[in-house]
Amino acid sequence: MVVEDSEVVPFGSTMLGSVVEGCCWWWQNGRVTTAAVVLLAFGAVSVKRYVARKNRRKRWAAVEKDVVVVHGLGKGRRTPNLSPFVLTLETYLRLAKIPYQMDYEEPFGPKGQSPWITLNGQEMGDSQLIIQMLGRHFGKDFTASLTKEQKGAARAFNMMVTEHLAWGFRLWRWVENKGRLMLQEMDRVPFIVRLLMPLKRRQISKSLYLQGIGRHSAEEVHDIIERDLAAISFYLGDKPFLMGSDLCEVDCALFGSLAQIMWNYSGSPYETMVKVKYPNLKEYVLRVKERLWPDWDQCLKRPKMS
Ligand SMILES: N[C@@H](CCC(=O)N[C@@H](CS)C(=O)NCC(=O)O)C(=O)O
C-alpha cells in the first residue's frame, strides 16, 4: 500500500515526540544545571533549618534559670495535650510546683520522642527519666512518706501504666481507630501530618507487633487491658489518690493516660471501662484534674500544632 506524503506525521510533531525530544535535549544540555539547582535548593533549605534550630536552642537556653521548657506535641481540643506522656510530665511539674513553659515548635527531641525538655540549656528526653532527674534537681520526692511496700506498689503501677497500658491504648488509637479520632481531636492538622498519617500508622503497627501486643486479636487486647484497669480500680478503692490521701509521682502517669481515655477515646471499649465499669477511675481523674489543673479550660485555648 502506498502511503500519501500528507499522511506521514513526523514523530517530532506528535505530543509524545515533543516530550521525547524535550527529554533528549534536557539530557544533553540541562541535566547538570537541574542537578545544581536541586542541590542548591536542598542546601538552602538545610541551612535555613539548621539556623532556625540553632536560634530556637539559643532562645530556650536563655530562659530563666530552673524554668523547665517542655517540648511536646500540640494541644488537643479536650485535653491540654494529646500525648499521655506530655500530659504526665506537665501534671508532675504542677504537682512539684516547678515553673515551666510549653513549646510546640520542635516536639521530638534527643530520643526522637515527645516529650523532652530543656533545663538550664541542657536537653533531656523520656518523661520518666525527666521526672526522676527533676526530683533530684529540685529535691522533690512525693513517695518519701510511703512504706517500702507502698513504694514497691507505686513503682509497679507506674510501670504498668507507662509500659503496658500505654501499648494497649496506642493500639486502639492507631490501629483499631486508625488515628481518625486523634486527628479530630487535634485543633489544627497541618497538611503534612495528614499526608504522613498512613506512614506513621504503618510504623506504629510494626512497633506494636514487635512489642507483642499487636499479635493479639482486638478482643484479647481489650481483655488484657481491662485486667489492668480493674487492678488499678481495685487498688484505688475509695482512696482519693492511688497511694492514699496525697498525690505522688505515679498519679501523674495514671492521670496522663486515663485523661486520654476520658476525653480522647470516645466510642472505645476503654471509655466504657473507665466511665461505667470502674467509675472510681473516672472520679479519680476528675479529682486530679480539679487539684492540679484548675486552668484546664484555658489550657485548651489556641491549640497549636507543630
Ligand atoms: N518512654 C517515652 C515514651 C514517649 C512516647 O512514646 N511518645 C510518643 C508520643 S505520645 C512519641 O514521641 N512517638 C513518636 C515515636 O515514637 O516515633 C516517655 O515516657 O517519654
198-240 pLDDT, tens digit per residue, is 999 999 999 999 999 999 999 999 999 999 999 999 999 999 9
- Best residue among 82, 85, 163, 250 to mutate for probing ligand 1's pocket (most ligand atoms within 8 Å of CB) is 85
Binding site membership of 91 for ligand 1 (Cβ less than 6 Å): no
pLDDT digit string (tens) for 162-184? 999 999 999 999 999 999 999 99
C-alpha pair distances (Å), 285 with each of 38, 91, 180, 289: 53, 12, 24, 6
Distances in Å between the Cα of 16 and the Cα atoms of 12, 58, 178 are 8, 55, 42
Q: What per-residue confidence (pLDDT) applies to 74?
A: 84
- Read off the pLDDT band of 8 (50, 70, 90): low
Q: Residues 11-15: what's their mean pLDDT?
A: 73
* Distance (Å, whole) CA 284 – CA 281: 5
Q: What is the pLDDT of residue 306?
A: 45
Domains of the chain: 146-299 (1.20.1050.10)
pLDDT(122) > 80: yes
- Tens of pLDDT, residues 41-62: 889 899 999 999 999 999 999 9
C-alpha 86 – ligand 1 centre gap (Å)? 9
- pLDDT for 303 equals 47
- Give the pLDDT confidence of 233-242 residue by residue, as tens digits: 999 999 999 9
N- to C-terminal Cα separation, the chain = 69
